[in-house]
């Protein structure tokens, strides 16, 4: 059994030590109390309140529409359901890119009102002043490089990023800059595995991969994807551990049938 499985509360320092000890870090998203309870009980190291809530909880095509108030609500719910895992919350689009003061204000609200233990923001050099401002205020920051979904309209596609040399070099430089600025970890999304390996070896803070191969210090998936609640979404990097879409729709169909046929409730289920 890993020594880290005995830890009562995972912190940013725990993740750094895990990288040093070469123990892989596990991370999943959660957006509500009930899911957070289950994910935490399963032994996850970190829970991400992703702005992917815009997709899986609200049905938007991109992550852009979700607001800071909505993310704070999700964060409050997850924090109440989490005992052991480190809770990281995304700052949504438009809450940190424009200026460092606004970035700090957004991060402070996420910590004070949302109860998160850290925030995650997308980008490198372009938002370095915002990152520095937040970290200088004592708020832990997780970076996010590669495919950054908040910039999807700039990219125009969800395909793998940094396949060309110039973009790959910039990504490595950005990762090193994030470490210099004081970020405690960085998510690498949809980049070639060899590049992720280079990044992971070039910095002393943990890398958390999603579609970035096996060389990252840890892995993150969207909970709804991992348990198979999203029918039809099947990128190459996703491994489904359950098929809940089929299980749940089947259970609903059976419930409908039982009520229609007057099989539910029966005598034992009545007072």
Catalytic residue positions?
Answer: 189
Per the DSSP assignment, residues forming a β-bridge with 220 are 27
First to last CA, the chain: 47
* Six-digit token string for 104: 């700090």
* 120 marked as part of a ligand binding site: yes
- H-helix or E-strand spanning residue 249: helix 244-260
Place of tokens 């704070």: 72
Question: What is the distance between the alpha carbons of residues 163 and 186, in angstroms, rounded to a whole number?
Answer: 19
* Six-digit token string for 16: 């750094």
**Angle, alpha carbons 237-241-244 (nearest 5°):** 115
Query: Torsions phi, psi of 75, nearest 5?
Result: -65, -45
Q: Cis before residue 215, ω within 30 degrees of 0?
A: no
* 122 marked as part of a ligand binding site: yes
Annotated binding residues for 3-methyl-2-oxobutanoate, written as ranges, equal 51-52, 90, 120
Annotated binding residues for Mg(2+), written as ranges, equal 51, 90, 122
């Amino acid at each position: 059994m890993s020594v880290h499985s005995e830890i009562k509360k995972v912190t940013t320092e725990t993740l750094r030590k895990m990288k040093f000890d070469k123990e892989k870090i596990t991370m999943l998203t959660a957006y509500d109390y009930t899911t957070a309870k289950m994910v935490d009980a399963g032994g996850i190291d970190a829970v991400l309140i992703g702005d992917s809530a815009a997709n899986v909880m609200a049905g938007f095509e991109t992550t852009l529409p979700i607001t800071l108030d909505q993310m704070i609500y999700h964060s409050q719910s997850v924090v109440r359901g989490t005992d052991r895992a480190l809770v990281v919350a995304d700052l949504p689009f438009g809450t940190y890119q424009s200026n460092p003061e606004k970035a700090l204000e957004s991060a402070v609200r996420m910590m004070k009102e949302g109860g998160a233990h850290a925030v995650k923001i997308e980008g490198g050099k372009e938002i370095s002043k915002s990152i520095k401002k937040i970290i200088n205020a004592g708020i832990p920051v997780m970076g996010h490089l590669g495919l950054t979904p908040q910039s999807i309209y700039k990219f125009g596609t969800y395909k793998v990023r940094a396949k060309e040399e110039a973009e790959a070099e910039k990504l490595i430089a950005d990762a090193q800059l994030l470490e210099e600025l004081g970020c405690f970890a960085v998510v690498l999304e949809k980049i070639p595995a060899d590049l992720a390996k280079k990044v992971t070896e070039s910095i002393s803070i943990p890398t958390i991969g999603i579609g970035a191969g096996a060389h990252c210090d840890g892995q993150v998936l969207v909970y709804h994807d991992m348990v198979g609640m999203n029918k039809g979404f099947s990128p190459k990097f996703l491994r489904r551990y359950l098929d809940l879409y089929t299980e749940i729709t089947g259970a609903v169909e059976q419930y409908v049938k039982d009520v229609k046929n007057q099989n539910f409730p029966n005598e034992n289920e009545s007072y």
